[in-house]
Structure 1
């Protein structure tokens, strides 16, 4: 419940601090005094949009804060914990608005986005304004009112889930259809490219082998000539070769090895060189004998090597990566070919989702019908108590299937009413006057507020257009609500004002240069004076005082 509201430099309020109690509080005052100013300030604490003219003239900023007792409000406490905000028995919402229009929001002293004020505000208090009755003629508002009474959010969530899923699938299908021509062209190109690379069938690492073989065959004639030249000079020339000279050198030095250690070491080195050279000559001879110039094999290698380079250039990749490009194109072809399969799958998913939606929408329809029957009876009874003795109210719930799935279900919901005997029920805006709409709206608000059981309810002049016995019944209904929840009511009706457990009086003071609004809690005697003023105007008589005393006593 709301426990305190502090207002500084807001509109024509300089400084105001109001303490609120449980039960029903009524707020009255002269016309133009600003009876709704506290409600407007509270609205800003709850995240309403602010303008620069809300700041009191010649002051830098308006500072507003509302304190709520939430020790029994589990939902509000959970919300605070989920958002890592301080959570104890009090929740303080604060709004600071500068004269330039900048706005800051706080929850329990922590800066927060304005949206979070709105979110937590819905868990703390409900405000019903004097123009709410203008909304109930709209189809969307009527649906919200019925669903709010039925309290079947789980059914609404199911319907919304399947509608969103169906919409997403439909969008995906339209995208696939729209790009089908382009996909077909891409598919043809990919098929040609993949076929070409399939036929070439290069493997990982093959190009490197091709390149080595190509270079070897390209230089094979030179290798043969040079290897033969080396063989001739080192071992195979009968007239002179390096091996013969080296053998002679070893023989000559070895005969002196026993005479001198240095010569022995040198002789050993020559001996090792001789052995290595003999081995090298033998290996070179074997290499020379194996090296064959096969023109056909060389042509095959050259052709495949050239083809690999040309294909790599065509696909704008390095020849070494040609096999990777081949795999990528195969995958791209598989993906684009799978789009047709995806379309078939989407059609099946759409059918399944539509069936699930229909089942969820039917459950929602049945719940709405039950709630509509109950709400029709309650509102009919209530409006008859509000001086519409022959009034008849009903909620028509009709299934209206369409090609698209609505996230709110497949129902058309219409509030019907008849005011006079024998009059057929029609849509409210066709048969109800402004005053009658106001009474119907108030009946709904009282019933729905009782159903929702909000921690606090504010009614801001919702009794406009009501008077006499009807006003007394309105006051009684509001007081009845206050048994279970805090009720704050801004009113101009004495029959409503007298039902409050406490009453505030709003006055506007001016010295000719400055204007200021004050709000004062009325004592028992002051309440008699104020109720009498509401009954008789400025000229309060003994009779009006007696009537006021009687109203308060009742």
Structure 2
């Protein structure tokens, strides 16, 4: 519930403090006094677009602060907690607007963007302007009103999700179908490439091994000759070899080491060298015996390397990556085969998704049909209370073809009305006059507000074009609503103003240089005078005062 509003340097308001009460509060005043200024301030507090024109001339900034009691608003409490903005059972919303047009928003002292102010606002109050009834002519808005009355948010959410899922599956299916011709050409190329590489069967690290073997076989004769020469020099030459000479040197040093122990390390090194030469000689002999001169194997390797290099050039890759490239092409071919399988799979998923959507849409339609009967009856009853005694009202729900369905289901919803006896029911936009539309809109808003239990409702001159007995009915309807919901109503009708549990008066002062708007709560006597003024104009008579007292005594 709105409890307090502070306005500073906003439009023609210098400073204003308003304490709000529960029940129905009416706001009246002379034309041009700024009766809607507090509502404009509230709208800005809750995220409406701001500009520098909102700042009072001569001031640097406008400061607007609204305080709400949210102890009975669990949805608002939950939202604030989720945003880490909670502050007990009170919520303070502030908007500061600079003269250059920039603004800053705050929730419980924390600066937030305007989008968050607007997101919070839906849990705190609902503002209905004097042109809100024009929305009632739109089919989408009519559907929203019926859904709000039916109170089936889970069905709506489920229907939207299942419709979205079906559309996503359809989009994927269509994309795969559109690329099918291109995929077929790609498949044929890949099948040829993979078959060619399958036949060649390149193995990982094979290219390096082939190059090494080719190098060895092409130089086998030279390798044998050099190995045998080294073996002769190291060990096999009977006349002179390194092993024999080193052994003689070792004998000489061994004899000397017996005389001088300082030669012992050298003796040790020579002994180790003898062992190394002997071991190297054995390895050279084994190597020379293993080296083969194999022209056939060399030719075979030469041919495979030639094929390898040709395939690498053909695929424009490095030779040592051919085996990996083969694997990648095989995977791509498998993926294309998977696309065909995916198309079949998608067809099944789409059918299943559409069945689930149809089931939910059917449940939603049944819920709407039931709610439409009750809402139609309540609107028709309210229209009679608003002096439309011969009017009939009906909410028509027609299922559309599956291809015209959407995330809201498949229902086409149309508000039908007949305002005169013998006149058939017709769409609202073809029949209702401005005054009739305003009354129907008000009846719908009151009924839905009661059904949805919006915490604070604000009606900004929604009674324009209404007078006489109709105005009395509007006043009674609003007061009834104000018994369970905080209601703020800007009005020019005495029949509506008198129904308020309390009344605020807006007046404009000027000293010839500056103009200022003020708002104050009227006492009981002041209310009589103000209602009389609304009845009779500037010349308030005793008869007007008597009528005013009668209105105030007839809740």
TM-score normalised by L of structure 1: 0.95
Q: Residue in 1 aligned with 2:487?
A: 487
Deviates more, 1:234-243 or 1:105-114: 234-243
The aligned counterpart of 1:507 is 507
Does residue 1:91 correspond to 2:65, yes or no? no
Q: Are 1:175 and 2:175 counterparts?
A: yes
SS at match of 1:5: strand
Distance in 2 (CA, whole Å) between partners of 1:48 and 1:270 is 99
1:381 correspondence with 2:381: yes
The answer for the alignment partner of 1:28 in structure 2 is 28
Could you say what secondary structure the match of 2:136 adopts? Answer: coil
Corresponding residue SS for 2:288: helix
Per the alignment, residue 2 of structure 1 pairs with 2
1:250 offset after TM fit, Å?
Answer: 5.6
User: What's the counterpart of residue 206 of structure 2?
Assistant: 206
Question: In the alignment, does 2:215 pair up with 1:215?
Answer: yes
Alignment match, 2:52: 52
Cα shift at 1:230: 1.6
Name the CA distance, whole Å, in 2 between partners of 1:260 and 1:365: 115
Cα distance per residue 1:473-524 (max 9 Å; x no partner): 1111111111111111111110110111110111122222222111111111
Aligned partners of 2:406, 2:263: CA distance in 1, in Å?
108
Q: In 2, are the aligned partners of 1:166 and 1:405 still within 8 Å (CA)? A: no
SS in 1 for 2:463: coil
Q: How far, CA to CA, are the matches of 1:119 and 1:60 in structure 2?
A: 28
* Counterparts of 1:400 and 1:267, CA distance in 2: 108
Sort the Cα spacing of 1:185 and 1:533 in 2 relative to 1 into closer, same or farther, 3 A. Answer: same
Q: Aligned partners of 2:54, 2:267: CA distance in 1, in Å? A: 113
Map 1:472-483 → 2, pairs under 5 A: 472-483=472-483
Pick closer, same or farther for the CA change 1:209–1:404 going to 2, 3 Å.
farther
Matched, 1:224 2:229: no
Distance 2:492 2:262 in 1: 132
> Once the 2 structures are TM-superposed, how far is the Cα of residue 68 of structure 1 from its aligned partner?
0.6
Q: Is the 8 A contact 1:505 1:521 kept in 2?
A: yes
Distance, in Å, in 2 between the alignment partners of 1:523 and 1:37 is 21
Structure 1 position 96, deviation (Å): 1.4
**Structure 1 range deviating more: 390-399 or 318-327:** 318-327
Deviation of residue 545 (structure 1)?
0.8
Cα offset for 1:411?
0.4
Whole-Å separation in 2 of the counterparts to 1:87 and 1:342: 53
Range with greater deviation from structure 2 (40-49 or 251-260): 251-260
- 1:158 — aligned with what? 158
Cα distance in 1, alignment partners of residues 358 and 543 from structure 2: 65
Tell me whether 1:113 sits opposite 2:117 in the alignment. no
Shift of 1:553: 1.5
Q: Structure 1 residues 27, 245: CA separation in 2 closer, same or farther (over 3 Å shift)?
A: closer
The alpha-carbon deviation at position 12 of structure 1 amounts to 1.2
For residues 126-175 of structure 1, give each alpha carbon's deviation from its aligned partner in whole angstroms, at most 9, with x where no partner exists. 11111111111110111111111111111111110111111111211222
> What is the CA-CA distance between 1:358 and the residue it aligns to?
0.8
CA distance in 1, matches of 2:272, 2:448: 111
The match for 1:294 is 294
Distance 1:276 1:353 in 2: 80
Q: Distance in 1 between matches of 2:280 and 2:351?
A: 80
Provide structure 2 residue ranges, at least 5 long, that are not aligned to the other structure. none
Residue 197 (structure 2) aligns with: 197
Aligned residue for 2:49, secondary structure, equals: coil
1:139 aligns with 2:155: no
> Contact between 1:495 and 1:551, CA under 8 Å: does it hold in 2?
yes
Alignment check: 8 A CA contact 1:458 1:488 kept: yes
In the aligned structure 2, how far is the partner of 1:487 from the partner of 1:396? 31
Moved more, 76-85 or 180-189: 180-189
> Does the Cα contact within 8 Å between 1:395 and 1:416 map onto a contact in 2?
yes
Q: 1:280 to 1:523 in 2, by over 3 A?
A: same
- Separation (CA, whole Å) in 1 of partners of 2:178 and 2:478: 59
Distance in 2, Cα, partners of 1:498 & 1:298: 113
1:5-53, Cα deviation, whole Å (9 max, x unpaired): 1111111111111110001110001111111111111111121122332
- Tell me: CA distance 1:7–1:269, structure 2 relative to 1, closer, same or farther (3 Å): closer
What is the deviation of 1:540?
Answer: 0.5
Give matches, 1:205-354, under 5 Å: 205-246=205-246, 270=270, 272-354=272-354
Number of matched pairs: 554
Which segment is superposed worse, 97-106 or 172-181? 172-181
